[in-house]
Amino acid sequence: MKRFGFLSGLIFLSLSIKGQAIHIGGNLSYYACYLLNKSISFNTSDSNYVFTGGISGGISGVLYFDQGGYYSRRIYGVNMEVNYSRLNQSYKIFPTETTPNPDRFYQYRYRLGFIDIPLLFSSCPSHHQGVTFEIGPQVSFLTSADAKVEESRVDPTPAIPFSKEQFRKVSYSAIIGLGCFYSFTENFALVGSFRGGYGLSDLTKSTGNSMLYNPTRRFWLGITVHAYLKLNKYDSKKNRGYKYYIKHR
């Protein structure tokens, strides 16, 4: 009962804020992603990264403070999302103690699933169109983890160095994005942005041997598309609609 009262209070407070506008919708992202580790190289060595893509999607909610519907001035908001994310990372290993042989290697892929919850500060010059900027933290909860061999030119293929227990259940990241907001009507809009993220915490657990252990950090960069239903609170005496401001900007 106390929780219900607390939640009701938050909702009442948000609805009482002058000039607020609520947007709800969904999002979809495709990105290049890496599990960065100091022991892995981008150059040909005993092991290196292989370009791998990831995907995520979920629901979005934004609370904008737009001064009663003044479309002509800059607005600010808080964006919260709940997304399911699939992070893939392939590695190519050259099992040799001398110069790597490009024809003798094996390649395997980590596949990690997360529930990502970003909380982002967002700004936009207007609700109808314009450049948007977003920045903020993200908390992630590990939901799945597995690995598979993609290609092998080594016989026998060494065992994949993988265990789900080696990954932390909770991790943290920082996100930054830049994009374009466009309203098709008073109540529907699309937002496309280039968004990048970097892991602030280690994805894996320490082995206890500091001489051999290297932390693994999440990194991704890609395109995110949002579709929003705009539940705007208008000041009927001051707001003339987005079409008016398109003509008079």
**Structural domains of the chain sorted by starting position, each given as residue range(s) with its CATH number in brackets:** 19-247 (2.40.160.20)
What is the structure's pLDDT at 232?
66
What is the structure's pLDDT at 239?
52
Percent of the chain that is helix, strand, coil (3-state, to 5): 10, 55, 35
What is the structure's pLDDT at 171?
95
Spans in the chain with pLDDT lower than 70: 1-20, 44, 66-74, 97-98, 126-128, 207-211, 232-249
CA distance 103 to 181: 48
CA distance 18 to 233: 9
3-state secondary structure of 36: strand
